[in-house]
Amino acid sequence: MTATPGTTPTLVLVGHGMVGQRFLEALAERGLTATHRVVVLCEEPRPAYDRVALTSYFSGRTPEELSMTDMEFIEGHGIELRLGDPAVRVDRAAREVTARSGEVFGYDVLVLATGSYPFVPPVPNKDATGCFVYRTIEDLLAIEEYARTRAGTGAVVGGGLLGLEAAGALKGLGVEAHIVEFAPRLMPVQVDAGGGAALLRTIEEMGLTVHTGVGTQEVVVGPDGAVTGMKLSDGSELATDMVVFSAGVRPRDQLARDCGLLVGERGGIAVDEQCRTVSDPRVFAIGECALAADGRVYGLVAPGYEQAQTAAATVAADEAAFTGADLSTKLKLLGVDVASFGDAHGSTEDCLDVVYADSRSGLYKKLVIGRDGRLLGGILVGDAEAYGTLRALTGSVPPVSPESLVLPAGADAGARLGPSALPDEAVVCSCHNVSKGTIRGAVAEHGCTTVPEVKKCTKAGTGCGSCVKVLGQLVAAELEAGGVEVDKGLCGCFGQTREELYEIVLALRVTTYQDLLDRYGREGARGGDGCEVCKPAVGSIIASLAPTIGASGYVLDGEQAALQDSNDHFLANLQRNGSYSVVPRIPGGEVTPEGLITLGEIARDFGLYTKITGGQRIDMFGARVEQLPLIWTRLVDAGFESGHAYGKALRTVKSCVGSTWCRYGVQDSVRMAIDLELRYRGLRSPHKLKSAVSGCARECAEARSKDFGVIATSQGWNLYVGGNGGATPRHADLLAQDLTDAELVRLIDRFLMFYIRTADRLERTSAWLERLPGGLDHVREVVVEDSLGICAELESLMADHVAHYADEWATTIDNPEKLARFVSFVNAPDTPDPVVGFVPERDQVKPDLPLLSIGLRSAEDLLEGSAPR
C-alpha cells in the first residue's frame, strides 16, 4: 500500500474519536507517521476524549481532564489534526476527501472511524426545545444548561447502559428523573430477568422512577414549543420538562454509503478481517461505524481498539486480523456494579445456570456452565468483585466449584478464587487485550515493581480501569514469586508497615513506643533509641488511638513527648532562625471583630509578624520559645485554641459564606465547616488533613482540592475525598451524593478512620487513594457499603477521639513542669537565644538572616576548636 516511489503517501483519517486516536497511536508505534503524511478530519470542536467516562463530567471531571489527546504526541508525529472540520464527501475514483472547509485531500489510504449516532425514535416533536441526546461533551453541556435553568423533571428514553447513566446524571443535576424502557426490564441486553429485577430495586431505592414495558409515543410541547410531557404507549402521560433520548446507537455510515461502499442491512460499513472495506482495498473502517467480518457492529471501545491495531498493522503490511471480540462489560451504574461476560444469556446448547440471588441487598449473580464444566459466561449485579477473575476464566473449567465463585464472602464458600489461579493466556485487561502472561513478564523481565509501572509498560488498566484490582494482585504475587525482597518496613527499626503497626497497637493495646520497639522492632533495633522516622509515626498512631487503647491523649505526656516531631513538641512551627509561629484555630475561617482585635493586640504586644494564611486563618511569626506560653495564655483567655498548624493532624476546614449571605448558596456551609472543624480538631493522622465546605456548586471554598471536601446540593451535601493542592495537585473524587448532615458526618468519620488505619506515614489521602488496590471503589465499598464489616468500629474510634479532645495549649499552660521546657537555655531560663534577632520590613519584622551565619565555622576550624572529650 505505498504510493509512487519518491513521494510521501498520504493517510487520511476521518473521525477523531476514541478509536481514531488509538489508531493514530498504533500508526506511531509502527513508525508509519514518519513514512506517511497523516491528516485527521475531526468533526467535534475538540480532539479525542474519553467518551466512556463521559458521565464523570457531572461528578466534576472537566472536558480537559476527559481528553485522551496529548497535543505533544500529535505535533511530535507531524499529524495534521483539523478540529471542527468534518469530511463531507469522498471521491474514491479520484482518491480525494473534501472537508467542510472546502479543502480537498488526496489519499493513498483512507480510514473511516466515524463512530455512531444516537438513535432517536421517530416520534412527533422529537426535536422540540428540551429534547437531547447523550453522546458528546457538547450534548452534556447543553443538558446541564437546560437542567439548571429550566427543568425540574426529566425523562430518559431507554433503560440500557447509557440511559441509566443519563438518568444518574439528571439526578445529580437535581432533576427528578424518570426512565422509560420499552423492554420488560432494565439493561435488557446485558442482564436477564433476575438481574434486571435486582437492578430495578436498587435503582428505585435511589429515588429514580422506572417505567418498564412502555414505549414513548409522542413528545408533548407547550405553547412556546418546549417540552412539557411525554405520551406513553399505555395511554398515560408523563409530565416532564426535558427528554433525553438514549435508545441505542446506529453506525455513522452515511459518508460511506454516499461514495458507494457496501454497508450492512442494518447499517455499518462492511469490512474484512483486516478491517479493510470489502468494496475498496484503499479504504478501511474501524470502531463503531464498522460492520466486522463476523457480521457484528461492536458498540464497545475494546473491540474498536483491537480493530485500530489490526488496521494499522495491515497498513504496515504486517499480519493481523480482527475476527470478533468479547462483549464483556463491567460498569458502575449509579454506584451499582453490573457486569456481564461471555455467554451471559445462556444461549449455548445444554448449558446450566448457577444462580445466587439476595434481593434484600440487591445481589444477583449467575454463572453459565457448559455440560463439560467449562465456564461460559455470567452476570453479576450488585457485587462484581469477582468479574476480573471470572472473565479471564471464561472458556476453561474453573479449578474450584462454580457455586463457590458466586457465594458471598463469609458464606460457606470454600476457596475464593484469586487471580493466581488464572492460566497465563487468560486476558486480564480486555480493553487492551493484555494477558496474565504479559503482566507477569512485565514484572519478571522488564523489572516493573509497581502497578503504575506495569500500567505504563503493558497499557493494562489504562482503559476502563475495571481490571486494576486484579492487576495489583498479580503484580504482588509475581514479585513475591520472584523472591524480590520488597522491604515494606517503616524504617530501619521496624520491618512492619505503618498499617501493620497500627493494627498491633490497636489489637494489643500497646501504649508505649519502647514496648513496641522492644517487642516488635527489627532484631538489631530492639532496646535502642529508635529513629526520627518511626518515633513520630508511632507517636501519631498512639495519639490517634489514645482514648481507645488507654494511653494519654496529651502529646507531651511522659514518653510521648520524646516521640513528637520538633514542631509538635513545641506546639508551634519552627522558623528558620529558631523562632516560632503561632496559628490559633479559626474554625471555618469565621472570626468576630473582637477576636480579630485580640489577635492584633497580642501580635502587637509581642512584636510578631502577622499574615493571613492560605488556610483562612492568621499566622503570627517570630515568637521566641520562652514567649510561647505567654502568648498562648492570652489566646486561651480570649477563647482561642491551638490550630495544630504544626501537627500531622486536622489543619483547617475552609468555608465559603454559604446560604446565610450568598444569593446562590443552597446550604449553610459556614456552620457545617465549623461543625466539622470542631469535630475533627486534634485528630492525629498519617499526614495533615485539610477540608473545606462550599455552599453551592460554584465551589468558592475550593473543597475539591482537599482531603475531604463537601459541596452543598439542593438536597444535602456531596462528599469528595482524596483532593490535594501542593506539589502534585489532585481533584477530590465524589464518594457519595446528597447526604444529610448526619450521613455526611458518619461517612467522614469512617473515611478518616479508615485512612488513618491504612495509610503509610506521610501519605496524604490523595496518594493513599491512588495506591490502594481498587482505589476509590474499594474505599466506597468499605466505608459506604461496609464490605469489611468494620464501620461500627471506625465510628466508635472517632467517637472516642471526639469525646476526649482537649486543647494542647490550655493543657500545657496549666502544667508547670511542662512549662519549664519552654526556655531557650536550661541553665539560664531568663536569657533569650541571641541568634534569634529581627530587622524591620514593611512596617513589621523579619528574621535577621545575616545573624545566622555569624560565628559559624568550617569543619576544619571546628576540629581544632573542639574540646577534648
Partner 1 sequence: MTLAPETTDPRLELRLADGWLAVCDLALLVPGRGVAVLLPDGRQAALFRDRGGKVYAIDNRDPFGGAAVLSRGLTGTHQGRPFVASPLLKQRFDLETGRCLDDETVRVATYGVRTAA
Length of the chain: 869
Applying CB under 6 A, among 461, 536, 584, 665 the residue interacting with ligand FES is 461
CB of 259 to ligand FAD, least distance (A): 11
**What are the beta bridge partners of residue 716?**
713
The smaller minimum CB distance to ligand FES, of residues 386 and 650, is found at 386
Return the number of the residue (492 or 773) whose C-beta is nearest partner 1. Answer: 492
Q: For residue 855, state whether it binds partner 1 (rule: CB under 8 A).
A: yes
Q: Which three cell numbers stand for residue 82?
A: 483539523
Distance, CA of 277 to CA of 111 (rounded, Å): 9
Q: How many CB atoms lie within 10 A of CB 462?
A: 15
3-state DSSP assignment of residue 283? strand
Q: Would you say the C-alpha torsion 159, 164, 166, 170 has a positive or negative sign?
A: positive
Only segment of 39-47, 279-287, 458-466, 857-865 that touches ligand FES (CB under 6 A)? 458-466
Going residue by residue from 671 to 710, which x/- string records binding to ligand SRM, judged by CB under 6 A? Answer: -----------------x-x--------------------
Chain centre distance of CA 278: 43
**Residue 613 binding: pick among ligand FES, ligand SRM, partner 1, none (C-beta 5-8 Å cut-off by kind):** ligand SRM
765 part of the interface to ligand SRM, by CB under 6 A: no
Shortest approach of partner 1 to residue 539 CB, angstroms?
A: 10
Among residues 191 and 670, whose Cβ is nearest to ligand SRM? 670
Q: Provide the minimum distance between the beta carbon of 313 and ligand FES in the complex, in angstroms, as a whole number.
A: 21
Dist. CA 477–CA 646, nearest whole Å:
40
Where does residue 62 rank: exposed (0-12), middle (13-18), buried (19+ CB within 10 A)? exposed
190 forms part of the interface with ligand SRM (CB under 6 A): no
Task: Identify which range of 30-38, 135-143, 420-428, 722-730 contacts ligand SRM by CB under 6 A.
Answer: 722-730
- The residue range among 227-235, 280-288, 563-571, 756-764 that interacts with partner 1, by the rule CB under 8 A, is 563-571
The Cα 35–Cα 793 span in angstroms is 63
Integer Cα distance of 626 and 840 in angstroms = 22
Q: Which position among 440, 469, 585, 764 is part of the footprint of ligand SRM (CB under 6 A)?
A: 764
Q: Least distance from C-beta 453 to ligand FES, angstroms? A: 16
CA geometry: angle 183, 186, 190, nearest 5 deg: 100
Strand partners, 283: 110
Q: Is 428 helix (H, G, I), strand (E, B) or coil?
A: strand
Rounded least distance, CB 723 to ligand SRM, Å: 7
Q: Is 171 in the site for ligand SRM (CB under 6 A)?
A: no
716 scored as a contact of ligand FES (CB under 6 A) = no
Q: Say if CB 312 and CB 285 are below 8 A apart.
A: no
Q: Which amino acid is at 507?
A: A
20 near ligand FAD, judged by CB under 6 A: yes
The answer to whether residue 829 forms part of the interface with partner 1 (CB under 8 A) is yes
Q: Tell me how far, at minimum, the Cβ of 805 lies from partner 1, in Å.
A: 25
Cα angle 845, 847, 851; round to 5: 135
Q: Least separation, in Å, of the C-beta of 177 and ligand FAD?
A: 15
CA atoms within 13 A on the CB side of 195: 26
Q: Helix crossing, 775-783 with 791-804: angle to 10°?
A: 80
Cβ closest to ligand FES, residue 53 vs residue 357: 53
735 interacts with ligand FES by CB under 6 A: no
Nearest approach, Cβ of 744 to ligand FES (angstroms)?
A: 32
104-106, strands of its sheet edge to edge: 87-91, 96-99, 104-106
Which of the listed partners (partner 1, ligand FAD, ligand FES, none) does 859 bind, with a CB threshold of 5 to 8 Å by partner kind? partner 1
Within 835-854, which residues bind partner 1 (CB under 8 A)? 835-836, 851-853
Report which secondary-structure segment, H or E, holds 11.
Answer: strand 10-14
Interface stretch with partner 1, choices 331-339, 570-578, 668-676, 780-788 (CB under 8 A):
570-578
The reply to whether 791 sits in an annotated binding site is no
CA 494 to centroid of chain Cα atoms: 32
Q: Is 825 in the site for partner 1 (CB under 8 A)?
A: yes
Q: How far is the CB of 734 from ligand FAD (least distance, A)?
A: 17
Q: In what order do the strands lie in the sheet with 37-41?
A: 80-82, 37-41, 10-14, 109-112, 283-285
* Closer residue to partner 1 in complex, CB, 378/847: 847
Q: How far apart are CA 743 and CA 748, in angstroms?
A: 9
659-to-653, 670, 712, 713, 743 alpha-carbon distances in Å = 17, 9, 10, 11, 20
Task: Identify the helix (H) or strand (E) that includes residue 549.
Answer: helix 534-549
DSSP 684: B
Residue 351 CA to its chain's centroid (Å): 39
Tell me: is residue 700 an annotated ligand-binding position: yes
Work out how close the CB of 354 gets to ligand FES at its nearest, in angstroms, rounded to a whole number. Answer: 24
Is the CB of 66 or the CB of 583 nearer to ligand SRM?
A: 583
Choose the one of ligand FES, ligand FAD, partner 1, none that binds residue 98, judging by a C-beta under 5 to 8 angstroms depending on kind: none
- Three-state secondary structure readout of 144-198: HHHHHHHCCEEEEECCCHHHHHHHHHHHHCCCEEEEEECCCCCCCCCCCHHHHHH
Measured CA angle at 620 (ends 617, 623), to 5 deg: 150
- Closest CB to ligand FAD among 250 and 671? 250
Count interface residues toward ligand FES (CB under 6 A): 11
Is 656 labeled as ligand-binding?
yes
For ligand FAD, the binding residues in 45-64 under the rule CB under 6 A are 51-52, 54-55
The DSSP line for 719-753 is: EEE--B-SSS-BPPEEEEEEE-HHHHHHHHHHHHH
Report the alpha-carbon distance of residue 749 to residue 719 in Å, rounded. 12
The correct pick among 492, 495, 607, 773 for binding partner 1 (CB under 8 A) is 492
Considering beta carbons, is residue 67 or 462 the nearer one to ligand FES? 462
| C-alpha dist (Å) from residue 437 to 478, 726, 732 | 11, 39, 34
Q: C-beta of 18: minimal distance to ligand FAD in Å?
A: 4
Q: Any contact of residue 537 with ligand FAD (CB under 6 A)?
A: no
Helix or strand (DSSP H, E) at 612: strand 609-612
Burial code (b: 16+ CB inside 10 Å, e: under 16) for 409-428 equals eeeebeeebebeebeeebbb
Q: Closest distance between ligand FAD and the C-beta of residue 322, in Å?
A: 13
Which residue lies nearer to partner 1 by CB, 103 or 518?
A: 518
- Select the residue interacting with ligand FES from 33, 310, 394, 466 (CB under 6 A): 466
Q: Is 491 annotated as a binding residue?
A: no
User: Using the rule CB under 6 A, which residue among 325, 460, 493, 813 binds ligand FES?
Assistant: 460
Site membership for ligand SRM, residue 581 (CB under 6 A): yes
Nearer to ligand SRM, 174 or 725 (CB): 725
β-strands 227-232, 96-99 pairing: unpaired
Partners of 97 in the β-ladder: 90, 105
- Per CB under 8 A, residues contacting partner 1 are 492-493, 514, 524-525, 528-532, 535-536, 559, 561-563, 565-567, 569-570, 574, 576-578, 820-821, 824-831, 833-836, 851-853, 855-856, 859, 862-863, 865-869
- Per CB under 6 A, residues contacting ligand FAD are 14-20, 41-44, 51-52, 54-55, 86-87, 113-116, 134-135, 162, 165, 252, 255, 287-288, 299-302, 304, 329, 331, 464
- Per CB under 6 A, residues contacting ligand FES are 429-431, 460-467
Which residues sit in the known binding site for [4Fe-4S] cluster? 656, 662, 696, 700
- Per CB under 6 A, residues contacting ligand SRM are 573, 575, 581, 583, 611, 613-615, 617, 619, 645, 651-652, 688, 690, 724-727, 764
Which residues sit in the known binding site for siroheme? 700
